[in-house]
Structure 1
């Protein structure tokens, strides 16, 4: 038999609701639900229909509501779900509704009738008596236990008397008593974005029913409810329907959590901290809240870290402006407060999307700079990584890249760290004191002749702009002739041939290393290149203070500015940099 109005309302399909008519009317079976925009549409519904509307003219305290009751009775509708409060309904109207056998449910919820109807019609397909009994029991008990995942899974396990659990994107059981071996042979496709229920054979005698949990059509699927069922068609059908109901219960629970996170922005920052700390195997609590926040956890992620320097603008306004500016990149990725800036990540970018992201990110940073006087925005993009561990690692890289971007003078600077990117050559754990000493030795004459650093900044801008004097002049806001005069002086102080590609590369790296001394990059554990814990690394990476080196190297020993440090592999970028810097060292010594 079909579900009753009481069953549907116990699940919470009508939001904040109250049935104001006789109890017997709540036990009437519901054939279907329909949303209507006006009173005339009630005349078109079929028998057993629950009519839902948010039309103000159909509110229970409006004169037109009596006409709606009579039309519903003529069509043998099961009831009306309309706006209103119990105290505002005249007793005579309630008496008429009871006399006409039309249930009246009042709601002040913000859900649209169309959404309520969609949920109800998902639950209303004709079922057997056994199906209805099980689903009714699941619905009522879940309504009483919408507090956490463990509580809801206990309800399902008790009612269904089967192993049930919540599974994350990496096929780990994060809640419940579902045996891990039931997931062992699942196809790779289950880890994807599918929002459809799936059924897989565990062995000859049992099936695995997997129901995705999704807040909205565009939301990510980070969690799924799964149950092992004997291979009996009738029982599998009942469990399948029960898991659909349970998924909506989870959606209701996560929607509440989502509202809490929206109201208390600080909780999102704390949630990110915990997710990064537990990146290898996040707890159920963390996964639930990340899902409620709309975060995408499966797939290949590219981390982005943004930092603002200077200006007299409050962090909250900067965060608001940054969020607005970043909408063009990804409407689902909200920048989260993270240490000294903001972090977010993008998922499954192809080469073309990655190129567009670089351009759009710089455009967004420039937009923020234009609207916030005196603020200079910088950003770093990390190397892609898979799963929650990939989010952590890519954000570590992004913060490193952001530290490098802060050494550049141009507005809206963006740096990217790839697996073999030259930016990695500027990361702290690749640099030794001897190498820094050589950079100081090579460029020391510039600093001695110009303690203000004007010549060094001019050289950095010139090299950043592919040796364009015009571009350097625009960047620094000076005349092109002034740039040429400074370059002549630089050539007289530093014995480098700027027309030689290798020497130019080596000089560029040396300039960056010296500029980094005013914006130190973070430390990493020797021999690892990765932090001991995700969050500790992210905090360490963002530091701009710390002790400065107290003494320079007394003498430059034969060696290279960048090279094989702490057993890190030397890639092509390393080798070219080494060659360029070797040439520079030899020329400077000679």
Structure 2
């Protein structure tokens, strides 16, 4: 049943006989007592011409059972076989399969070829895939996956480096192994074998995607799937690399225009308007700047995720330009009239929901966003984008969650603190009071524990839950920190000083060289 010719077949009854060994396939228009099937044979029965003589199906099931044959495949029944036939097949343990709109002779030939000339069938399938690729008829990732799946009768999909689904029929990977270091891998840990092969777009930079296949077929079917997946992987590598090159070129053009907008104090509006028009952008109206800070992804990954993020924002009603940065995206939405202040909370909620869903399907990524005030025209857009970047930095610094969004008007006191964080005087102060911990804590385990503990109002239980460790572990780490620093955490001013110092170090650990530079 896992063979390609039976990909659309429906098993109606006789599951008890599915473990029988098949030795041949025969086509019968009608079974006669003088010419019964032989042991191990699968009988293909064309029901399109039996008319009212449906009893022939009952006779065929009995004849197959008595002769020690294996199964009955009924093609083109054109009518409901009924419960009586199914009960009879179950009684004798004869697998009963139905297949509509199928040429019985062609089906029989393909089944026999798989049994007696498996290499020829495999070569024919490989040749079919190469022909489709050579004719340039498969011009999307989905079409390549569909072709491989149809020819192999297997589930096929493409996943990203974080094992998130990209395209195809979803396959649950779980704890099963995936290929690495260019070695094709078949994992037999589950009932269905999991095939995987890497797709590396830039040699030496690690795996970008995996092409997966899952099949319960015979050894010959597994070998066919392997051949088709390897050919598909080579083709997809070229296709996706070409897409990456085009995307990087488009990204460079978008970044150049955005950088000119942000970095030029005296805006040359006419020139910028022309460049923005060429990009399909508009700033005519009230512009609300957005900045999404993404952690856990390099610049190539950010480019790959650009289309997905833009689609998610569009679905949330945040439709506008989105430009790749070295640590995330800048963008804005434009409205004809000034947005109401009451709408800020809804905007933050929608953007927060987008980021939460995004990081939930991309393990290892964190996304924190900021929203600027709505301002008119180009100068207003520049101001709003700067505010959005600042708000994103604060949202990232103040949140332990993998995603969060904040509006600049929600961050009054925290903006003052951010200015303090960015000063070299406070940076030296923070490093000096935490220096004993920093020297001891090479993996920043103690520093992270202290920060979470203070944010959790000095609750060992809450801190342990956030850190995913035992409560006693938090207690022991805090005791060690107190001993090293020589401080009293019962003192409110001491707690505040340490909490601010931890926040400053978190901001400085971000990829921005300094907050003030990042705001440009």
Shorter-chain TM-score: what band?
0.3 to 0.5
So what's the TM-score if we normalise by structure 1?
0.39
So what's the TM-score if we normalise by structure 2?
0.43
